[in-house]
Structure 1
Amino acid sequence: MSFRNTTEVIDRFNRAFLEADPDLLTDLIAEDCVMESVQPAPTGERVEGRDACFAFWRTLVEDDATQFQPREVIVAGDRATIRWNYRFGDGATDWVEGVNLMRVRDGLIVEALGYSKTAGDVPLATDH
């Protein structure tokens, strides 16, 4: 694996969702990665370890009934903020805004904390 900077890692992470290609994630996740999803409220589900994080994200990437759309990405050193929209249906209000706070170490994602504007439950692909 060649060393990747934070921008390269986050760009590829976002591409996995935009292109519905979970294989883009395979060598982006550290063994000690920790991810917290936006649900259930108030703290979200905590997922630990490379395999568990990959499985969670793979399910989201492969769910053709939903769409993750990055809106803005800000990178500062080993950290990145991804502002996104997540569409979970065809209705005018079937979407939420949120952010992921990401941390990258040695070219791998070690932390991904998700937060959303919604106070209610949004059906995620992992809920099916």
Structure 2
Amino acid sequence: MDDEATRATVEAVRRLDAAFDRGDIDAFMAAMTDDCVWESFTPAPDGQRHEGQAAVRQAMTEFLGSSPVFDGEEMLARGDRAVVRWTCRFSGGHVRGVDVVRVRHGKVAEILSYVKA
């Protein structure tokens, strides 16, 4: 992390991930912009796009209700972008994937989730 924008991106993603790990939907949404976007990896095969605070909150609340356990494996960041490699465990198994994240003004603006096929 050699520049201020990259440091801010890493901090924003870590703040979001910590809220997710705690299951704290209010803190999770506070870490996202008002016009946030989350492209989830469910339902298969292509997931679903959720736009705006209300839609992302509803989708994330439902997702957290499935008791997923995420293990972040690696984060690469540069400027306002980050890629996070992860494993998500459910009661029925697991998936591996990546999130492509964009940060704006210290908050996560976009999360595009992709799973390994």
Task: With the length of structure 1 as denominator, give the TM-score of the two structures.
Answer: 0.75
- Aligned pairs, how many? 111
Q: SS in structure 2 opposite 1:9?
A: helix
- In structure 2, the residue matched to 1:105 is 104
Per-residue deviation at 1:42? 4.0
Per-residue deviation at 1:82? 1.1
* 2:76 matches 1:77: no
Which amino acid is 2:113 matched to?
G
Q: SS in structure 1 opposite 2:30?
A: coil
Decide whether the 8 Å contact of 1:34 with 1:110 is kept in 2.
Answer: yes
Q: SS in structure 1 opposite 2:41?
A: coil
> Relative to total residues, which structure has the larger helix share, 1 or 2?
2
Per-residue deviation at 1:30? 1.1
- In structure 2, the residue matched to 1:18 is 21
Q: Which structure 2 residues correspond to residues 48-127 of structure 1 after superposition, within 5 A?
A: 48-64=51-67, 66-89=68-91, 94-118=93-117
CA RMSD of aligned residues (A): 2.0
> Relative to total residues, which structure has the larger strand share, 1 or 2?
2
Instruction: Give the Cα separation in 2 of the matches to 1:42 and 1:62.
Output: 21
Structure 2 gap ranges (5+): 1-6
| Superimposed CA distance per residue, residues 43-83 of structure 1 (whole angstroms, 9 cap, x where no aligned partner) | 3201001221122223333543x212211111111011111
